[in-house]
Structure 1
């Protein structure tokens, strides 16, 4: 007769699931964050939108400003709706915003897309850190968070390859269409990512939190 996995084994599997899903989400975060820098030389060379170096610098700051806004409001929103829902919303937002960049025909629309993407990017990272901290094995929180941060840098590396592979044969818009693909990952997060333990406890859902813990 087969026996069910022990609580420790089930807990380890759940921790791996949470860290894995959050790692992928942050990978997409890094890809979207750095894709602008990867396509920028081409945009300047081809004078897309009549872009000047000064305008290019301004566009780069829009996403950073959006990230500031996203990071500042993430905690408040997560406390209201939950960290899981916020992560799904952030992935959805920056993916759709990249689609707006891909179809833009002016600097203003492109800048709006980068600003909205920044809000999603800024909201995702601290929320993902909070999630993995909740589920990290005791005494391994710093290691797990460090592992999570490698995803952001991996996304930056991936953005350079996306630009290299797509810009010459297809055009710069294709690079932003690639950044729309994480939209397909949002339903995966919604289905498989458990809610934050600290949020469940704060909302009085202690039985659910105890079962997950």
Structure 2
């Protein structure tokens, strides 16, 4: 048996001299780490960690969203056809597909924190390469590298946030994390307007490489997930990290207040702890995997197929570059109340009904946007569409990491995101091909159909996770 000493909060934990043995003692440690995390009150310390992750998320959103506003200028400089421009737009998503798939499995094996830092290196190098690309082909390769870095970040960030925050706050904060996406999209529009007015699109990419230095902040302040450490059998490290987290939380509580006692969580048998990619298709997880892959593929096919072309389509309709960027920024403002609504409804209604409402609302708004006949109608329907689209994103990012256990959470989220990136890269390219034939109305009807398919998948095959601990859901 493993010798036990008393850890933070009077909780029994393995002593530094004990050997790590797969069995009942280690399993109990996993369960106790989870219980200790879930009983913590929400304080400024967890919000500080969340703020760091959310800031990195914001930078990624600016990088990805900027192409929506810069695509028209890039098309003009390189003389691209609509199909070529669509292919260029898709290169980021090819990189994101590869990054998300690889990073998820790497984070489950090597740790959340290390992979998160590596993602920012690729992202910064990709942005620099974009700024100095001499032709469209080179720019495409640069966007591929940039997308790889961004794709790496998504599943790791989701795993960190979902594993550190207590159950009662998990859904809301994951939804708020996604709320930094529309904020970044709006910031990308404002920055693009500034750089296109006074500089050029290359300077915009050069500017976007600077925040990659943020990895130093992550290295210093973001802890490794104690859930992951315990799950990997690294109990001594898990205990040290968990004790530091409890200490920092306790310091932020009113004087005299103590931490509540952890509520025991059912342990898993050791033979259930082995993970491989094939576990995503084992009993209990295969239906979840099929459901969430379908949702991600069609939701992202519709989203990026439409939003990547918003500014360029407005320019094709006769609006100037500055007008099209201004209209697109205005439309994107509705994403802010969209994610706020999703954050509230996730814990009040639940994940499934909120997701279905956002997806169906996106479909209806997209159809009417594609058939708008005046600028006023275009902006009105666009506002409604962005409200539901960014609400949809909030639900997806809150829901996906909850479907899998700690040993495979990043892999499950990463693979779902990777499948979504296939839809992401197909969307802009398909739009570029069918636009001359179907016109705007046909393009947005195609996007609406994608959202309906995603809504049906989650409505019929999804499970509800509201109010449940991660360990309870994984059982």
Normalised to the residue count of structure 1, the TM-score between the two structures is 0.89
Larger relative CO (CA 8 A, sep 6+): 1 or 2? 1
Q: How far is 1:81 from its partner? A: 2.2
Counterpart for residue 139 of structure 1: 168
> 1:167 is paired with a residue of what secondary structure?
helix
> 1:194 is paired with a residue of what secondary structure?
coil
Counterpart for residue 27 of structure 1: 58
Cα distance in 1, alignment partners of residues 40 and 86 from structure 2: 50
Cα distance in 1, alignment partners of residues 167 and 241 from structure 2: 15
The reply on whether 1:200 has 2:229 as its aligned counterpart is yes
Cα distance in 2, alignment partners of residues 90 and 22 from structure 1: 13
RMSD: 2.0
Write the mapping of 1:12-91 to structure 2, written as runs, cut at 5 A: 12-44=43-75, 47-91=76-120
Q: How far is 1:198 from its partner? A: 2.5
Q: Is the 8 A contact 1:87 1:127 kept in 2?
A: yes
Q: How far is 1:10 from its partner? A: 9.3
Q: How far is 1:9 from its partner? A: 8.1
Cα distance in 2, alignment partners of residues 199 and 137 from structure 1: 15
Q: Is the 8 A contact 2:224 2:241 kept in 1?
A: no
The reply on whether 1:109 has 2:109 as its aligned counterpart is no
Counterpart for residue 155 of structure 1: 184
> 2:198 is paired with a residue of what secondary structure?
coil
Deviations 1:95-144 (A, max 9, x none): 21011000000111100111111111112112111101111123111011
Counterpart for residue 3 of structure 1: none
Cα distance in 2, alignment partners of residues 14 and 134 from structure 1: 15
Cα distance in 2, alignment partners of residues 80 and 49 from structure 1: 43
- Bigger shift: residues 180-189 or 48-57: 48-57
Cα distance in 2, alignment partners of residues 67 and 208 from structure 1: 31
The reply on whether 1:185 has 2:223 as its aligned counterpart is no
Q: Is the 8 A contact 2:40 2:166 kept in 1?
A: no
Cα distance in 2, alignment partners of residues 9 and 145 from structure 1: 17
Cα distance in 1, alignment partners of residues 237 and 72 from structure 2: 51
For these two proteins, the number of residue pairs brought into alignment is: 206
Q: Is the 8 A contact 1:83 1:127 kept in 2?
A: yes
The structure in which a higher percent of residues are helix is 1
Q: Is the 8 A contact 1:101 1:114 kept in 2?
A: yes
Cα distance in 2, alignment partners of residues 38 and 195 from structure 1: 36
Deviations 1:26-78 (A, max 9, x none): 1011111111111112222xx22332322111011111121111121222111
Q: Which 4+ stretches in 1 moved above 6 angstroms? A: 6-11
* Match for residue 128 of structure 1 among 152, 157, 167: 157
Q: How far is 1:11 from its partner? A: 7.2
> 2:197 is paired with a residue of what secondary structure?
coil
Q: Which has the higher Rg, Structure 1 or Structure 2?
A: 2
Cα distance in 1, alignment partners of residues 210 and 41 from structure 2: 31
Q: How far is 1:209 from its partner? A: 2.1
Q: How far is 1:175 from its partner? A: 0.9
Q: Is the 8 A contact 1:17 1:193 kept in 2?
A: no
Q: Is the 8 A contact 1:59 1:111 kept in 2?
A: yes
Cα distance in 1, alignment partners of residues 43 and 230 from structure 2: 20
Counterpart for residue 168 of structure 1: 197
Normalised to the residue count of structure 2, the TM-score between the two structures is 0.41
